[in-house]
Structure 1
């Protein structure tokens, strides 16, 4: 097995910690600045944050009984319409990811995950552990893009180094 339950819990805590810091940064920008095209893969800070919310939602729907998010990957940059709606959705999802990780057993990371991928238009079968590692990697990848766009917007981007995350929380 390529990952452990401890890794998943650490990464779930890291995800919540990072998103809490992003929320504080987003509050410093007005709607126009959040939605301004900054040349990111999804254009704006807000569209990228929405895509990440959608991506986490789709992976959690595959790994748990959480409902599948509406739309597909092309709709993901518009998952929420306002910063406030994003904050609510992000807080709820981060809580769900933390609870999932806290109750995860090694056996839950074994075996294969099967799903239909709209992104590639095919049925997929991959090791569960690889899919979970991908979910956390996907978060880090897009938060890195947001970090760069926040810096370009003149803000002090949040600390993203995992080694500086408090071991005591609070995560949310």
Structure 2
């Protein structure tokens, strides 16, 4: 559960999957990206913003600091190119952050406060697992909406990444 190599793989997979998804989304018009597609956050654009907001919230919590003051449905980036640039920068931070973790850090307990002001304590490895699962969950929603927009969603399964990287 506290294997740093496993989480390093997930961090790199996350970067890979985001690059593929953003590449496909970039082919859509701004109108198509922002159209309400009945997703949890409405549009592809808002869903991608939500993933970034979630990442920023958790990345601010991991060092034990107060979280950014985002709301989960905030849209910090209206412009897709700015959003894509922020996503690439965030992914680089995530990869570097996870690369610096060792087994004892992953086994430590992290106490954090959620967006409703509730405080929780949990093993870092479990929280990091949630962190990556959250991204996958909402990337899947954006992936589905991409198909409803008439685009060809790229394969994003972890197994595709592992095969491409010859890790399977």
**Which string of whole-angstrom CA distances, capped at 9 and with x for unpartnered residues, describes residues 105-144 of structure 1?**
111101211111114x311111111110000000100001
Q: What's the counterpart of residue 29 of structure 2?
A: 30
- Residue 12 (structure 2) pairs with residue 13 (structure 1): yes
Q: What's the counterpart of residue 134 of structure 1?
A: 130
2:5 aligned counterpart, secondary structure: helix
Q: What's the counterpart of residue 50 of structure 2?
A: 51
User: CA RMSD of the aligned region, Å?
Assistant: 1.8
Query: How far apart, CA to CA, are the structure 2 residues paired with 1:61 and 1:116?
Result: 11
- In the alignment, structure 1 segments of 5+ residues that lack a partner are none
Q: What's the counterpart of residue 148 of structure 2?
A: 152
Aligned with residue 161 of structure 1, among 152, 157, 161: 157
Q: By how many angstroms is 1:71 displaced?
A: 2.2
Q: By how many angstroms is 1:68 displaced?
A: 4.5
Instruction: Rate the CA distance shift 1:47–1:91 in 2: closer, same or farther, 3 A.
Output: same
Q: By how many angstroms is 1:40 displaced?
A: 0.5
Asked if structure 2 preserves the Cα contact closer than 8 Å seen for 1:3 and 1:133, the reply is no
Q: How many pairs align?
A: 164
Instruction: Rate the CA distance shift 1:92–1:123 in 2: closer, same or farther, 3 A.
Output: same
1:73 aligned counterpart, secondary structure: coil
Query: How far apart, CA to CA, are the structure 1 residues paired with 2:35 and 2:2?
Result: 38
Query: How far apart, CA to CA, are the structure 1 residues paired with 2:65 and 2:85?
Result: 16
Query: How far apart, CA to CA, are the structure 2 residues paired with 1:101 and 1:74?
Result: 26
- In the alignment, structure 2 segments of 5+ residues that lack a partner are none
Q: What's the counterpart of residue 77 of structure 2?
A: 80
Q: What's the counterpart of residue 62 of structure 1?
A: 61
Query: How far apart, CA to CA, are the structure 1 residues paired with 2:70 and 2:59?
Result: 15
Q: By how many angstroms is 1:39 displaced?
A: 0.5
